[in-house]
Structure 1
Amino acid sequence: MDSKITAQVEAYVDEVWEDVVADIAALVAHPSVADASQGAPGAPFGAPVRGALDCALGIAEKLGYEVGDDEGYVGIADIPGAEDRQVATIAHVDVVPAGPGWNTDPFTCTRREGWLLGRGVIDDKGPAVLSLYAGAFLKQLGTVPRYTFRALIGCDEEVGMTDIHHYLSGHDDPDFLFTPDAEFPVGNAEKGQYGATFTSAPVTDGVILSWSGAEATNAIPAESVCELAVDASACPAPAANADRLAIEAVALGRTRITARGIGGHASLPEGTVNAIALIVDYLRGADLVSASERPFLELMSRIHEDTAGASMGIASSNEAFGPLTVIGGTVEVSDGRIRQTIDVRYPDSTTDGRIAESCRALAAEFGATCTTDHAKEPFSVSADHPAVQTLLDVYREVTGRPAEPFSMGGGTYARNFARAVSFGPEDNDLELPAWGGSMHGPNECASEAQLKEAFKIYILAILRLMEVDL
């Protein structure tokens, strides 16, 4: 690695870091949960997302990019090169709902002991700002880069990625793209995704009045609240997980059960505790529900029994992608039925068709139904691609750590492009502070040291990609 360039990069990182943090805070301030039902021309995912997009484009313009947008679906920021061919990044400014359990305002970026807290600091507003500042280093060199560098800003990654589908319907694929929306070193393969909703038979004599879980189907709920038409005096003390369950009288003949688990992203269930499952276990043991509710409660127990899908009959694994994972995300009681969603991440050793068939059969055992909400096939890019090898080399040189490409359960924008990978900045081995949380959970936090290292990696990666024959 050229020592002069490295020194320039390190000086740049230090020089602009306070500006980077300020711009992350400005983006976090927008409660940009994508909601197409609130869409309008130029703001297809609602005004808060449009506000975040304008904020990001304002940062890009300040840094010297040529900016525009694709009808509000995707922001476009370019540094023109000698060739029209593109090296690109894509990050997103939409976020999952804040959800319960925060100790700070989720839409105010709080700086504490070398960490940033706020919804989106690691997924994906922080990385979005890093990518803009990383590309802007090309302007510092005072030369025209070989390829055009394009920073794309997405607005609908957490909900359906319809933003990038719209973009690609009218724009060519970049020659190579990475998304700073996963773990280091390089994610060159992503599991397939399958989402479905289990719905109970009509409940005629139910005691479950309401039930909440995660606010998004791709999140593991940290809190679940269930209200019953049962007097609190009839509710026994929890036989298990007593420290995670609270039972309180709401009124005569009405009781609220609150479960507190450990939330997280659906693709990373290890180490989490699903709050819905805590209530399922309690209700089954306490024998409080009605005869018409009992079958669906038993079905929910099967869904929540493990995160490998063994109890549901959908488990699958292979060396290239690893094991299937499944979680129950949202739950609700409405129109006389109970509904539980699932989020499945699966290897290419199975198919969404097989998973759907097994889920329908499982539902039928309990007099319920299962409908598919979405399905995406597994995706991969060759680890031997010269751009992939370039990213790995830069990561090794900056960190001194070994690096091999990996597959993951998370779904990123990369799967929508012909030549794309995910490239940090997360580190799943990083120990979070006691008051901090992971992405999609309460108290989402990011280490400033981690972000700074990623920032340096991104700058050097973009410089190196300009030298690769794509």
Structure 2
Amino acid sequence: MRADVMESVDAYVDEVWEDVVADISTLVSHASVADASAAEPGAPFGRPVRAALDCALGIAERLGYQTGDDEGFVGYADIAGERAEHIATIAHVDVVPAGPGWATDPFAMERREGWLLGRGVIDDKGPAVLSLYAGAYLLRQGITPRYTFRALLGCDEEVGMSDVHHYLESHEQPLFLFTPDAEFPVCNAEKGCFGGTFASAPIEGGVIHSWSGAEATNAIPSESVCVLGVSVSELPVPRANADRVAVEALEDGSARIFAQGIGGHASLPEGTINAIALVVGYLREVAAARPELFAAQECAFLDLLACVHEDTAGRGLGIASESAAFGPLTCNAGTIEVVDGRILQTIDVRFPDSITADEMRMICNATAAQYGAEFCQGSVKEPFSVSADSPCVQALLNVYRQVTGRSAEPFSMGGGTYARNFASAVSFGPEDNSLELPAWAGTMHGPNEAVNEALLRDALKMYILALLRLNELDL
């Protein structure tokens, strides 16, 4: 890219940056957790998500886009090009629930020491705003792009991506799309997604009254609370993980077990500690010392949970697998609850092309049966990839190299993004997991979600340059 173009992009980013931060803050203020059960006409995922979508579309209109939406499923903002065929970005305005453990208000963005804190600052409201400002550079410079540019704004990425499925039923595929919803440099391959629920046998005379973990299956729980219908005096002192497990008496005479883990995203388990696993470990200590306290079905299910929580690679369940193209399988057991006399434990598996969903379903069914439990398979998404030799992929890699000065090759990941729903798409930043977080900052999907401002500034530069480069290609 010519030096004068780079200077122009740098000057633009400097000029608009305070507006970018302000718009991120406004968008973060919407507690936009998708809830299809609260659907209304024009708001298929509830009013809070619709409000966030309207906020983002308002930003786009102010920047000069032509905007519209697909019945509230997806919003779009267009910049007309010389040709009707379009290239696109897609980000999402829905977020995972705030969850416990925040030191700040998750929906009141805070700016601290070069970082932004708030739910969605990195996943994915911050990047959504960047995508709008990237296209607005073309308008500011009076550039008519070769291809029409469309910035898509999704509303159901965190739950099921039904938004983009609805959109693609009546809208053309872009020539190429990137989503700012992953790590730099370029992710051209995403592992498959496999979900399901282990259910204990019906429990008679059980002592486990309630149990909680994460609020979403794709989150690693930072906290877990289990209430037992016994007196604290009957329970042993925690041995393993005693610094993370606390037992206290409740007013009704029952016992509350609280575990403090380290949360994160299901696809990135390294460095996390699943709080449910900590409770499982303690309950098995109790069962070993006082087996008469538990119903037989509870003891059996605790043994099954020990297999589920043995590690994050699926070894305890017998589904561990790895391939050169996609890397290792990951397994997160994120949500747990007691419903109608049964304990329900979900799993969220990100799997490579070396194992199939049918194989995992059969293994999970067989494992559950060994403990008198059942397994119900949920959603499945197959692994997908785009060739690393694609001119579009290479264009994005070259932009990353130019801006950062780093070497770069495409990679695979366990996170599931919108990219897998399009014919030709990849994810392109803006995360950088090599950055060390301050002690008060957290990762996406966990408490105190934070993003580095300098990283976002570089990302905006890269998104502008990427649009310019893609318009030079014959697509």
TM-score, scaled to structure 1: 0.99
2:404 alignment partner AA: T
Report the Cα distance in structure 2 between the residues aligned to 1:47 and 1:251, rounded to whole angstroms: 38
Quote the residue 2:256 is aligned against: 256
Quote the residue 2:417 is aligned against: 412
Quote the residue 2:22 is aligned against: 22
1:205: Cα distance to partner?
A: 1.5
1:291: Cα distance to partner?
A: 2.2
1:252: Cα distance to partner?
A: 5.0
Report the Cα distance in structure 2 between the residues aligned to 1:106 and 1:74, rounded to whole angstroms: 24
Aligned to 1:286, the other structure's residue is in SS state: helix
Are the aligned partners of 2:266 and 2:332 in contact in 1 as well (CA < 8 Å)?
A: yes
1:434 aligns with 2:439: yes
Quote the residue 1:331 is aligned against: 336
Are the aligned partners of 1:205 and 1:292 in contact in 2 as well (CA < 8 Å)?
A: no
Quote the residue 2:42 is aligned against: 42
Quote the residue 1:292 is aligned against: 297
Identify unmatched segments of 5+ residues in structure 1. Answer: none
Q: Which 4+ residue blocks in structure 1 deviate beyond 2 angstroms?
A: 288-292
Quote the residue 1:78 is aligned against: 78
Are the aligned partners of 1:283 and 1:289 in contact in 2 as well (CA < 8 Å)?
A: no
Are the aligned partners of 1:188 and 1:380 in contact in 2 as well (CA < 8 Å)?
A: yes
Identify unmatched segments of 5+ residues in structure 2. Answer: 288-292
Report the Cα distance in structure 2 between the residues aligned to 1:424 and 1:452, rounded to whole angstroms: 12
Report the Cα distance in structure 2 between the residues aligned to 1:408 and 1:77, rounded to whole angstroms: 28
Report the Cα distance in structure 2 between the residues aligned to 1:199 and 1:147, rounded to whole angstroms: 51
Report the Cα distance in structure 2 between the residues aligned to 1:346 and 1:291, rounded to whole angstroms: 33
1:251: Cα distance to partner?
A: 2.6
2:265 alignment partner AA: H
Quote the residue 2:125 is aligned against: 125
1:286: Cα distance to partner?
A: 1.7
Report the Cα distance in structure 2 between the residues aligned to 1:428 and 1:372, rounded to whole angstroms: 32
Report the Cα distance in structure 2 between the residues aligned to 1:417 and 1:143, rounded to whole angstroms: 27
**Residues 33-432 of structure 1 mapped to structure 2, 5 A cutoff:** 33-251=33-251, 253-287=253-287, 288-432=293-437
Aligned to 1:341, the other structure's residue is in SS state: strand
Aligned to 2:87, the other structure's residue is in SS state: strand
Report the Cα distance in structure 2 between the residues aligned to 1:337 and 1:277, rounded to whole angstroms: 18
Report the Cα distance in structure 2 between the residues aligned to 1:106 and 1:87, rounded to whole angstroms: 33
Aligned to 2:407, the other structure's residue is in SS state: coil
Report the Cα distance in structure 2 between the residues aligned to 1:34 and 1:252, rounded to whole angstroms: 35
Aligned to 2:206, the other structure's residue is in SS state: coil
Report the Cα distance in structure 2 between the residues aligned to 1:274 and 1:221, rounded to whole angstroms: 6
Are the aligned partners of 1:196 and 1:341 in contact in 2 as well (CA < 8 Å)?
A: yes
Per-residue CA distance 1:89-108 (angstroms, 9 max, x = gap): 00000000000000000001
**Number of matched pairs:** 470
* CA RMSD across the alignment: 0.7
Report the Cα distance in structure 1 between the residues aligned to 2:246 and 2:401, rounded to whole angstroms: 48
Are the aligned partners of 2:297 and 2:372 in contact in 1 as well (CA < 8 Å)?
A: no
1:37 alignment partner AA: S
1:365: Cα distance to partner?
A: 0.4
Structure 1 range deviating more: 290-299 or 419-428: 290-299
Aligned to 2:269, the other structure's residue is in SS state: coil
Aligned to 1:251, the other structure's residue is in SS state: coil
TM-score, scaled to structure 2: 0.98
Quote the residue 1:454 is aligned against: 459
Report the Cα distance in structure 1 between the residues aligned to 2:40 and 2:272, rounded to whole angstroms: 37
2:321 alignment partner AA: S
Structure 1 range deviating more: 290-299 or 224-233: 290-299
Are the aligned partners of 2:209 and 2:229 in contact in 1 as well (CA < 8 Å)?
A: yes
Report the Cα distance in structure 1 between the residues aligned to 2:363 and 2:432, rounded to whole angstroms: 34
Are the aligned partners of 1:208 and 1:228 in contact in 2 as well (CA < 8 Å)?
A: yes
Aligned to 2:408, the other structure's residue is in SS state: coil
Aligned to 2:334, the other structure's residue is in SS state: strand
1:469 aligns with 2:455: no
